[in-house]
């Protein structure tokens, strides 16, 4: 078995959706009920106000209220990681300080998007946020959405900051990831559900999963099997997730749309998505429900 870094937020994290009421308002009661379910079924941590949580369409006040409500619901049973990333360094720092006051245990900070800053500016952005807050940071590397990679050399330099402790990796570059893992103590969480076992097997800390909104126990079981010395069972469990993961994450719809559609079909807190997103159609919902039922029955 490969050496395992101590994960700062646990191993099994869910990128939680943000429940809304039928009228599109923040549903704090629903968020608390969903958070309690996720933690009770194996999540060590919850990432709030990420892209799956529709952060582009929630206000700063809603983000803070969500952290407070979920922290009250789960107490010390799980880590609360607040997504605070924006394209504006000053605004991101403001969100970091508000999340800290609201009770977050850590921060998830995405690379500034759209403006495509060069690597020295990316590094300065993350350092400014890490310097401003007392909370540990997870850097979110997802160039397919932001347009800018956190290059491995930049990651190596940032790893020296005492509050930069983790990475949510959606770069699809296992070579670059292994270079950083080999040279630093950064805890790598895959943000790609199809890479849960692959990332863990090369020394990653675990995952930050969208699909875990509906199947938290199953994804946790992949890590448990691997840690228990049964890699073949871990492979089997990972492969069972493929149909649902493909429908939720590779069907052309955002994960927030598919996760909410399936949660709603299961009678769990979800609510509508906010524009410009649109709800999944009936055929999509039926397909998700079928894939989910096959997975839990396997």
Please identify every residue annotated as catalytic. 140, 168
The C-alpha atoms of residue 202 and residue 6 are separated, in whole angstroms, by 14
Number of H helices, E strands in the chain: 13, 8
The C-alpha atoms of residue 248 and residue 228 are separated, in whole angstroms, by 28
Contacts of 155 (CB under 8 A, 6+ apart): 139, 141, 167, 180, 184, 186
The count of other CB atoms within 10 Å of the CB of residue 152 is 19
DSSP state at residue 75: G
208 is in an annotated binding site: yes
Do the strands 106-110 and 137-141 form a parallel or antiparallel pair, or are they unpaired? parallel
Q: CA separation (Å) from 258 to 249, 264, 280, 284, 286?
A: 8, 10, 7, 8, 11
Q: DSSP 3-state assignment of 229?
A: coil
Q: DSSP 3-state assignment of 260?
A: helix
The C-alpha atoms of residue 37 and residue 41 are separated, in whole angstroms, by 6
242 is in an annotated binding site: no
**Binding-site entries for pyruvate:** 52, 208
**Binding-site entries:** 52, 208
């Amino acid at each position: 078995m490969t050496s395992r870094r101590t994960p700062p937020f646990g191993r099994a994290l869910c990128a939680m959706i943000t429940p809304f009421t039928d009228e599109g308002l923040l549903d704090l009661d629903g968020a608390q009920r969903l958070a309690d379910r996720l933690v009770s079924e194996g999540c060590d941590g919850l990432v709030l106000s990420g892209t799956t949580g529709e952060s582009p369409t929630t206000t700063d006040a809603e983000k803070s209220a969500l952290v407070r409500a979920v922290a009250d619901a789960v107490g010390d049973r799980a880590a609360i990681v607040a997504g605070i990333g924006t394209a504006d360094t000053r605004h991101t720092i403001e969100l970091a300080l508000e999340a800290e006051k609201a009770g977050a245990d850590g921060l998830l900070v995405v690379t500034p998007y759209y403006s495509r800053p060069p690597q020295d500016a990316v590094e300065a952005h993350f350092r400014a946020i890490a310097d401003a807050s007392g909370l540990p940071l997870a850097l979110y590397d997802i160039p397919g959405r932001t347009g800018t990679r956190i290059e491995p050399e930049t990651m190596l330099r940032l790893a020296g900051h005492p509050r930069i402790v983790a990475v949510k990796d959606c770069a699809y570059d296992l070579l670059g990831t292994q270079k950083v893992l080999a040279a630093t103590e950064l805890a790598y969480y895959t943000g790609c559900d199809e890479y849960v076992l692959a990332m863990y097997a090369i020394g990653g800390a675990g995952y930050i999963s969208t699909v875990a909104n509906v199947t938290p126990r199953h994804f946790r079981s992949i890590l448990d099997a691997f840690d228990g010395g049964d890699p073949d069972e871990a492979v089997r469990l990972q492969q069972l997730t493929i149909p649902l993961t493909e429908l939720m994450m590779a069907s052309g719809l955002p994960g927030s749309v598919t996760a909410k559609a399936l949660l709603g079909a299961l009678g769990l807190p979800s609510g509508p998505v906010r524009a410009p997103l649109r709800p999944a159609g009936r055929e999509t919902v039926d397909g998700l429900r079928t894939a989910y039922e096959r997975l839990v029955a396997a």
